[in-house]
Amino acid sequence: MAITVQTYTTKEEAVRVAADAFEALIRERAKAGKTAVLGLATGSTPIALYKELIRRHKENGLSFKNVISFNLDEYCGLPGTHDQSYRYFMNDQLFNHIDIDKANTHVPLGTLPDAEIDAHCKSYEEAIKAAGGIDIQLLGIGRTGHIGFNEPPSSAESRTRKVHLDELTRKDNAVFFGDLAKVPHYAVTMGCGTVLDAKKVLLLAWGEPKAEIVAKSIKGPQTEQVPASWLQKHKDCVFILDKAAASKL
């Protein structure tokens, strides 16, 4: 199975294409009286897409009442009220601006004691299954090749679990925290196997700094050392790129 690559001159164009995929799914399911299950990501990459979805909600009547969402990951140690937690990010960047029922939004909990994390991860996986599985999983990609926070080495079978963050990831994310020392060392993330179970996967990447890892993920060997390379196994995975992110293909 090969990854489908779509390259656009501008990020804005690329974002519209990604938004179209989400809008089509949500509207089609709403028409049939059914739910749409979205796998969502945080970080800088999806911000423009969330803005576009909010615009479509406000201007075109796109409703999220039938949407159930599962986020990929959360930092350990940060409660949802912390402005760098991924729960906070999702509320702030998307959920607070659309008509989604917050009870239908799921983000892993980062504040549980170690003894309770395994059970939480299992129940996260079970909740995804109970919702009918993820229809579209949105991904960004880290320069380590991580998807979610599946740092190298991560197996294709990995499931939701607590993971140790790579130093390169901590450094890349230090811009959001303003200080490297404040970036957590651990996170809870869906596994590569969890992501591969989604019916459709859309990975977005912008800018030259992502070009090398994007090329490795698409053209390189499938390996634990580049967790995003496992996406080559998926039957419906699309990389939506701007020109710069596609420049090493």
The site for ligand F6R (CB under 6 A) is made up of: 41-45, 72-73, 140-142, 146-149
Cα angle 166, 108, 230; round to 5: 50
Answer whether 38's CB lies under 8 Å from 50's CB.
no
Query: 36 or 148, CB closer to ligand F6R?
Result: 148
Query: 42 or 194, CB closer to ligand F6R?
Result: 42
Go through 101-122 and write b for each residue having 16 or more CB atoms within 10 A of its CB, e for each that does not.
Answer: eeebbbbbbbbbeeeebeebbe
Min dist CB 42 to ligand F6R, Å, is 4
Cα angle 249, 21, 7; round to 5: 20
To which residue do tokens 């140790």 refer? 164
Min dist CB 16 to ligand F6R, Å, is 18
To which residue do tokens 């959360």 refer? 74
- Nearest residue to the partner ligand F6R, using Cβ: 140
Min dist CB 168 to ligand F6R, Å, is 10
Q: Which two tokens stand for residue 136?
A: 């579209």
Min dist CB 73 to ligand F6R, Å, is 5
Query: 15 or 41, CB closer to ligand F6R?
Result: 41
Query: 30 or 207, CB closer to ligand F6R?
Result: 207
